[in-house]
Every structure is written in C-alpha cells, then in structure tokens.
Amino acid sequence: MKILHLLGANKDLGGILSVLRNLANASLHLGWKHVVLVNERYKEVRAPQLEYRFIKHLLDESDSHLRLLWGALQAQRSLFHLLTKERFDLVHAHSRGGFLAMLMARCRRSQPMVFTNHAYARRLWLYRWAASRPGMFTTVLTRAMSDYYGLSPDGDKIRIISSCCSDAHFSKPLHQPRPAGGMKEPVRLTGLGNILRWKNWHLIIAALGLLTPAERLRFQVKIIGPTLQAKDSVAYEQELRAAVERHGLSRQFHLAGPSADTSEDLRCCDWLIHPAIDEPCGVAVIEALALGLPVLAARSGGPAEFVQHGKTGLLFDPFAPAELASQLRGILANPPSLLPPASIRESVRDRSASGVLPSYVKLYGRVCS
C-alpha cells in the first residue's frame, strides 16, 4: 500500500511528522510506503528519514486563513500533476492546509481520501460537512475531539485513532524516581512543545509566582521547544520572558529552545509538565509516560483522558494557577504515591505506534475497498 500524506510543513518540528515517522516504522513489515507532501522549503533534521514529495505554495498552518486557502489553491495544479503521474492507493491529509488541498483535489478526482484532524479548529461546520461527503473518511485523536466537532464515531467513516509515540520508547531505560525524603536538589520539571499561546506556559510562571521564595528555589523548570516564525509565537516568547523577570524567576524558569533528543531531556527530569489548553492528544505526554515518567498535565484535551490522576501523574485546571501552585506545594511537602515506572509505562502501551497500527490497518482497508 502506498499512502500520500498531505502536510505542507516547511520545518521539521516533530508533532504530526513524529507521528508519521512512528507509523511508517511500525508498518514496515506490512510493506506500506508512506510519502509525505511538504513545502519546497522543507529540510529534514530528525530521524528516521521519511520519503518526501515537494510542492510550492502549500502550507501546513498559518495565522491567516486566507493564506492557507490561497496556498491550497495555488498548489492544486502541482498536486493534480503528482496524483496523475504517480499512483497512490489513498491520500491522507493532516494539517489545516492539507485539509483544504484535499477538499479541492477531491472535487477533481474520485479517489477516496482520509483526513485526520489534529487541532481544535473554529469552523466546525466545515469539518462536519467534509465528514459527511461520500468517499471522505475522518479520524480524530480523542473522544473529547469527537465531542467538540459533534462527530459521532461510527466505525466506518468517522473514527477515533490516537496519536502515537515510537515503539523504541518502550524499550528505553525506565525513569528512576529520586528518593522522596530529604531531596536536596530542586525538583526538575520539563515541558516539551512549541512556544505557542495555547500551550499555556505562562500558567507555570503564574503558579511559581504564588509560591514563597523558599518554595520557588526548590523547583527548576525547563521548556524545550522552538519559537515559530509566526508573529504571535515571537510575541508570546517576549511576554514569557517579561513575566519571568517580573516575578523574579530567572533562576527557576528557562526557555531552552529546541532539542535533538527529547528522550534524553525527559530522562534528566522528575516530572513532565504540560499545561496546554485543549491539547489535541499530546505525543510528548505519551512519550514521557512510556519512559515511566510521571506527568503534571492540564485537565483538558487528550491528556485528561489517559493521565490517571494520582496514579500516573497529577491533573490541574489549566485556568487556575492557584491549583497548580497547590500541586507543586504538595510535591514538596507530601509527594504523591504514584504507580511504579513500569506500570506508568504500561498505561500507554496501546498508544505506541504498534498499538495504534491495527486501527490504521482497518481504516485503510475500508478506504481502499
């Protein structure tokens, strides 16, 4: 089976690309060939390598809906030429730009197409309309996303298929918790993700600001992820740095930029902290749990469905810095009795690439039939 994934990414930043890498590696024994359509400016910097086709104009995301639409329109001629010249068993769109390109291509070709919605978009009617079209198959990542879009999974055209982490995470050494009592070193919290407003990194700063000076000194927070070229991402980074200075947290809170080995970053911390609002699924959270690392996560979106409060991590209100501050105080004064690392790992075994692959086997089989 040969699948064309419509993406349009111009940078190798993980996210959807990480999921596609994991899926491609897990399906090697099936003989599947995954080809990813990216923007002509794209340069691969992560491993393992994927097979690409390059196209002008198509974008994965943009602050401007008109720019996304214009890019999808401009890319149609090249996309139609590719689909005419090269045979693919199915087309699978992922990003918002890929979704628009898929809708336009569907008007010119009768080939069945799949769209995986990786985001909480505002134009709900458009996604509902697309899901109802003949020959169009829709997947969402969590039950919360299906509820948000008003799309009831029917086992046929609409399905829930989780994001996944690589199988390799389940064979790496487990996280070894430090002794709870008498810990002299600061508690190390690591956040993984782009510098985007909905990632809600400012909540951590606000929560630390509610602690006493002595309590703050017992935490080290490192946010690992790039600032994007989008204007709001740049502005958000500046706001975060200003808030750190305003609260006097320059010794406790650090924006570390992107990393080439996030699994090593996770091994060097005590908790993953993930305060995002309406996180579609949370690959970083799955990766952390697969290493046996506990997670401090917002009670929102995907993580709220698979982080088990008091067992594999702790959940908090993403709009309540006081609640997060209370959780942090609890970690210092009375650390929770969580499951052992091996049991934390097993809690997300079904969200490994091999764990979600059977769902794709069924979906692609249905589409191609």
pLDDT digits (tens, 9 = 90+) for 269-305: 999 999 999 999 999 999 999 999 999 999 999 999 9
What is the gyration radius of the CA atoms in the chain, in angstroms? Answer: 21
Quick one: what percent of the chain has pLDDT higher than 70?
A: 99
Same domain for 33 and 154, yes or no, is yes
Residue 63 pLDDT greater than 90, yes or no? no
Cα dihedral 11→289→305→188 (10° resolution): -80
Peptide bond just before 48 cis, omega within 30 deg:
yes
**Smallest Cα–Cα separation from 303: which of 321, 316, 322?**
316
Same domain for 342 and 233, yes or no, is yes
With beta carbons less than 8 A apart as the criterion, state whether 313 and 297 touch. yes
Same domain for 185 and 277, yes or no, is yes
pLDDT band at 178 (very low <50, low <70, confident <90, very high): confident
**Smallest Cα–Cα separation from 117: which of 89, 88, 91, 137?**
137
Same domain for 122 and 77, yes or no, is yes
Same domain for 234 and 254, yes or no, is yes
pLDDT band at 349 (very low <50, low <70, confident <90, very high): very high
Same domain for 135 and 152, yes or no, is yes
Alpha-helix residue ranges (DSSP H) falling in the chain: 16-26, 65-85, 96-108, 124-132, 143-149, 202-209, 213-216, 231-246, 262-267, 283-290, 303-306, 321-333, 341-346, 353-368
Q: How many domains does the chain have?
A: 2
**Smallest Cα–Cα separation from 144: which of 363, 359, 304?**
304
Section 177-196 average pLDDT: 83
Same domain for 146 and 217, yes or no, is no
Residue 182 pLDDT greater than 70, yes or no? no
Residue 70 pLDDT greater than 90, yes or no? yes
Rounded to 10°, the helix 202-209/321-333 angle is 60
Name the residue with tokens 């050494």.
173
Q: What's the CA gap between 362 and 360, in Å, rounded?
A: 5
Residue 247 pLDDT greater than 80, yes or no? yes
221 membership: H or E segment, kind and range: strand 219-224
Same domain for 36 and 74, yes or no, is yes
Q: What pLDDT score does 230 carry?
A: 84
With beta carbons less than 8 A apart as the criterion, state whether 246 and 291 touch. no
Q: What's the CA gap between 153 and 238, in Å, rounded?
A: 41
Same domain for 48 and 32, yes or no, is yes
Q: Which domain holds residue 294?
A: 168-350
Same domain for 157 and 239, yes or no, is no
Same domain for 160 and 177, yes or no, is no
Same domain for 202 and 118, yes or no, is no
pLDDT digits (tens, 9 = 90+) for 230-240: 889 999 999 99
CATH number at residue 46: 3.40.50.2000
